[in-house]
Amino acid sequence: MVISSSHIYSKNNLDVVNINTAKKINAKRFTHNGQIQIYQSSYRGSYTSIIRDSLRNAALGRKVLLIQFMKGGVNQGVDNPERLCGNLTWVRSSHSFDQYNSEAIKNNKNLKKSIHESTLELWNFCKKELQSGENDQIILDEIFLAIDMKIINKDDLISTLENRFISGDVILTGTDIPKDLLLMANQITELRS
């Protein structure tokens, strides 16, 4: 049982520590990071369970950011995110590889450049979000394909993850996952067909 006492009691009792609340202490912002979870699969398009879980988390009140690097949509991009369940922000690239056939991309340098710039813009947005501390969960869908295609630098991803500020988890998905990133993960899940 705790008994509250007067100021006189604390002067007479040497076992009581006097705390001066008049002085303000500058508190340093400490980062609290959730886990890094990696979901890998031998084929693309196997991450519907992750998207389902992100919707569930958003419906439960957690602030979720879902970034799809290789999927595009009509009128999407960093400036036009979709909002679902009030808490899920879903962002796709404004130009993506999945919107065009590989032959068209290969033969059109301007299209290829636009796709690369759009993906890089999405990555820069992601980096800011990983530092903001405003999300409870961030999902980076198919980010390893963007690394494999040399759009996103692997070392930049590692550095960003090491310096992130997010209380929840960061989920990364992809097929060919660099060993350095596997070693950073708290959880690795292999999805099989």
* Angstrom distance (rounded) from CA 51 to CA 20: 50
Lookup: tokens for 156: 């930049």
The pLDDT of residue 184 is 92
* Angstrom distance (rounded) from CA 143 to CA 173: 7
Q: Which domains, ranges and CATH numbers included, belong to the chain?
A: 33-191 (3.40.50.300)
Residues 66-91, mean pLDDT to the nearest whole number: 84
Q: Which of 89, 92, 38 is nearest to 64 (CA)?
A: 89
pLDDT band of residue 112 (cuts 50, 70, 90) is: confident
CB contact at 8 A, 177 and 40: yes
User: pLDDT tens digits for 113-124?
Assistant: 888 898 999 999
CB contact at 8 A, 167 and 133: yes
pLDDT over 90 percentage in the chain? 33
pLDDT at 81 over 80: yes
Residues 125-131, mean pLDDT to the nearest whole number: 93
User: pLDDT tens digits for 161-188?
Assistant: 998 987 789 999 988 888 999 999 999 9
Look up tokens 């820069």; give the residue. 124
Report long-range pairs for 161-164 (Cβ below 8 Å, ≥24 apart). Answer: 161/36, 161/130, 163/131, 164/31, 164/33, 164/130, 164/131
User: pLDDT tens digits for 33-49?
Assistant: 689 999 988 766 666 78
pLDDT at 17 over 50: no
The pLDDT of residue 46 is 60
Q: Average pLDDT of the chain?
A: 79
Higher pLDDT, residue 129 or 73: 129
Q: Per-residue b/e over 41-73, b at no fewer than 16 CB within 10 Å?
A: beeeebbeebbeebbebbeeebbbbbbbbbbbb
pTM reported for the whole predicted model: 0.76
pLDDT band of residue 18 (cuts 50, 70, 90) is: very low
The pLDDT of residue 70 is 81
Among 4-8, 29-33, 135-139, the minimum mean pLDDT is found in 4-8
Residues 143-151, mean pLDDT to the nearest whole number: 89
Q: Which of 10, 22, 92 is nearest to 51 (CA)?
A: 92
CA dihedral 90, 95, 101, 104 (to 10 degrees): 180
The pLDDT of residue 29 is 42
The pLDDT of residue 73 is 66
